Each structure stands twice: as C-alpha cells, then as structure tokens.
C-alpha cells in the first residue's frame, strides 16, 4: 500500500491503511501524540454552475473520453437535492425545520454525497441503495458548517454566499438545527436504506459514527481550536487536524458507498485510502484558496484563517510547495483506482481532479 510521502518536506510517513479491528483512524503519522502548550480560543440553489469553465476543461482532459463530468455532477447533485428536500420536510415545529432546511438546501457542490454514490456504483451497486447514506453524510456536513460558523467557533457571517444560520435564526436555534441534522442523519441511514442486508447497514452506521466522533471529525475540530495562536505547530500536527476535521467525512462518504454497494473488503480498503488522499487534498486546496481568492469568489469569508492566526499549509510550506503537495496527493489517490473498471472509475477520477483544481 502506498502512502503520502512528505519526505520532500522533511517528513517520513506511515501506512495509511488502518486495521478493521481498530475503531480509530490510523494517520499518516500515527505514533506521535498531539499535545498543546496553550489554549485559545428554502430551496437548493441551481447546481448548473457547480463547475467553472476552467475546472470543466481540466477534468474532461483527465478522464475517460466520452465522460462528461459537468453533466454527471449536475445530475447527481440534483438527485441529492431532491432526496434532501424530501427527507427534511417543513413541518412542526416550523422554526427548527426552517433552520435545518435553510443550511441543508443552500446549494453547494454536494461533493461528499456524490462521492458516496460514485463509490457505490464503482463496486456494482445502484445509486438508490446509497442515496440515504449520501444524504446522511450531507446532513452531518451541514451540521458541521452550522456549528463551525458560530461565534464560539469560527465566528463567520457568510456561508455559500448567504448569511450563516445563526445570523438568520439566532445562535440558540442554529445549535439545535445542527443537533437535529446530526441525529436525523443516523435515523435516515438506518430506516431509509433498502435492498441492503442488515449487517452492511449496521457496518455503515458504525463507520459514520466513528468518522464524526471523538476520534474523527470532533477530534480534528478540538485540536484545530486548541492550535490557534501556537507558534510550534508543524506539518504532522496540521496533518492530524485535517485528516480528522476534513478527510474523515470524505473518507466516510466513499466507504459508506462501497459498503452499501456490496464491495469486498479489499475494494473498500482501496477506496478508503483513495478517499483519505483526496480528503487531505481538499484541505490543502482550501488553504490555498483562502489566501488567493476573494470572499466573493469563495462564497465565504476569505483570509479568516490568517486573521485567526491558524496554521495552514501555505503558512508552513509556502504556496508553491502546497500546490506541489496537492498534485502529489491527487496522483497518489488516483493510483488506488487502478484495477477497477475504468468506465465506472471515471467519476471518482474526475472528482479527484475537481477537488484538486476547484476555484472555490
């Protein structure tokens, strides 16, 4: 199994693959503990504009001829939006459901649910069996954004070009909307998944819970918060944050799709590694965009990591080295898809390229 090699930036790495017997994520640098020296602290919009012309051109050149990534993304995102709209309907208490729908249906690229659907289809499954899982992942992602934007966290006023949830509904309702989305995600996955044997649904629920808990997304959030203002944060520490905070849910989306689609253990673990690479890639690119794009271009506040004195890849490595690292992560991710049917793998290859070359 190949791994992310940081040797060109002065780091050795460990195996990316993790044992199925262990509930914790095995990181690129799993043996070094993280320590701290101080503590600081509607309706969906159109998905037709998901990709810019530049992104379309890059991706269409990189995948199987005849595969149109832009059409694929628009169709999949519209399917996801319809499923989300049906899953979280407007009902009593009206305020909480309005708040849930406000952020859940605010648009976005739907990268995580599309990854889930693409992984399911890659291993021979049908989109319908993975759609509840895809929606569950997007609900949890939305929860993380609502909570991330709160004054006690990142204190952001803008998300996807719109006022953040707490700016519209207040902090109290925003917290509860996130909580409600989190709990309903598990209900939806467990109750709405059909055509899959119960053991695989249970496995999917376990995977989702682990990816967002105290050894997954929450771990990344906590370490990120406690790292603000520290002067001695290195690449291993930063990698820990983002493999948990960002990559864990992307990884989970792909793994859920492959589990529910009927993938073998070998296929699931190859796709897990693919997803871990693109999860870290997503954050490296996000860090680059935060310092190279405007708020208008991003649809969220630009430069906020710099203002919060957060450590980022450009801060530690510089822009050019960060871009080189992103290119390597993309190459290593796509190597994991060798051996799969090339036509079925085309969406995941294109998604990796999209994450690498996105402009917002």
Supply 309's token pair: 């004195």
- Cα 285-288-290 angle, rounded to 5 deg: 110
Distance between CA atoms of residues 1 and 135, nearest Å: 31
How many angstroms separate the CA atoms of 164 and 99, rounded? 10
Task: Specify whether the CB–CB gap between 41 and 225 falls below 8 A.
Answer: yes
Dihedral of alpha carbons 262, 263, 269, 271, sign: negative
Q: Which pLDDT score, from 0 to 100, does residue 13 have?
A: 39
Whole-structure pTM value: 0.81
Q: Strands, E, within 6-164: which ranges?
A: 158-159, 162-163
Length of the chain: 360
Contacts of residue 51, defined as CB under 8 A and 6 or more positions apart, other chains included, come to 59, 69, 70, 73, 354
Q: How far is CA 154 from CA 138, 229, 316, in A?
A: 20, 14, 21
How much is the pLDDT for 28?
44
Q: What's residue 217's pLDDT?
A: 94
Residues 181 and 140: their CA atoms lie apart, in Å, by 6
Of the candidates 268, 288, 255, 240, which has an alpha carbon nearest to the alpha carbon of residue 340? 268
pLDDT of residue 63: 54
Residues 6+ apart with CB under 8 A from 275: 115, 119, 247, 250, 251, 252, 253, 254, 255
What does each of the 360 residues of the chain score in pLDDT, given as a tens digit? 334 444 333 343 333 433 333 333 334 433 333 443 433 334 455 554 445 544 554 444 455 567 899 999 999 999 999 999 999 999 999 999 999 999 999 988 899 999 999 999 999 999 999 999 999 999 999 999 999 999 998 889 989 889 999 999 999 999 999 999 999 999 999 999 999 999 999 999 999 999 999 999 999 989 988 887 777 888 999 999 999 988 999 999 999 999 999 999 999 999 999 999 999 999 999 999 988 866 565 555 655 565 556 788 998 999 999 999 999 999 999 999 999 999 999 999 999 999 999 887
CA distance 345 to 252: 18
What pLDDT is attached to residue 107? 85
DSSP designation for 337? T
Residue 159: beta bridge partners? 162
């Amino acid at each position: 199994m190949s791994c992310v090699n940081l040797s060109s930036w002065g780091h050795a790495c460990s195996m990316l693959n993790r044992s199925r017997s262990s509930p914790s994520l095995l990181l690129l640098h799993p043996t070094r503990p993280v320590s701290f020296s101080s503590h600081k602290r509607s309706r969906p919009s159109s998905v037709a504009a998901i990709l810019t012309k530049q992104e379309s051109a890059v991706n269409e050149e990189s995948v199987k001829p005849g595969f149109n990534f832009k059409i694929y993304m628009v169709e999949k995102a519209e399917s996801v939006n319809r499923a989300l709209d049906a899953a979280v309907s407007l009902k009593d208490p009206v305020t909480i459901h309005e708040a849930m729908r406000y952020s859940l249906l605010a648009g976005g690229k739907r990268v995580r649910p599309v990854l889930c659907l693409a992984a399911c289809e890659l291993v021979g499954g049908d989109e319908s069996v993975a759609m509840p899982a895809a929606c569950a992942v997007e609900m949890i992602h939305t929860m993380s954004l609502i909570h991330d934007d709160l004054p006690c966290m990142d204190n952001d006023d803008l998300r996807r070009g719109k006022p953040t949830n707490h700016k519209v509904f207040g902090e109290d309702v925003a917290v509860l909307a996130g909580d409600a989305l989190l709990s309903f995600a598990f209900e939806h996955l467990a109750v709405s998944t059909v055509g899959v044997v119960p053991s695989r649904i249970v496995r999917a629920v376990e995977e989702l819970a682990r990816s967002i808990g105290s050894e997954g997304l929450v771990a990344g959030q906590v370490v990120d918060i406690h790292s603000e203002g520290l002067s001695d944060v290195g690449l291993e520490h930063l990698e820990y944050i983002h493999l948990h905070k960002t990559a864990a849910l992307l990884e989970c989306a792909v793994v859920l799709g492959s589990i529910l689609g009927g993938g073998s253990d070998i296929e699931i673990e190859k796709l897990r590694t693919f997803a871990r690479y693109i999860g870290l890639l997503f954050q490296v690119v996000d860090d680059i965009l935060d310092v190279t794009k405007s708020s208008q271009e991003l649809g969220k506040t630009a430069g906020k990591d710099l203002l919060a004195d957060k450590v980022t890849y450009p801060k530690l490595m510089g822009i050019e080295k960060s871009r080189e690292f992103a290119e390597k992560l993309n190459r290593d991710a796509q190597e994991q898809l060798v051996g799969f049917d090339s036509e079925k793998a085309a969406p995941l290859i294109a998604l990796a390229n999209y994450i690498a070359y996105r402009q917002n």
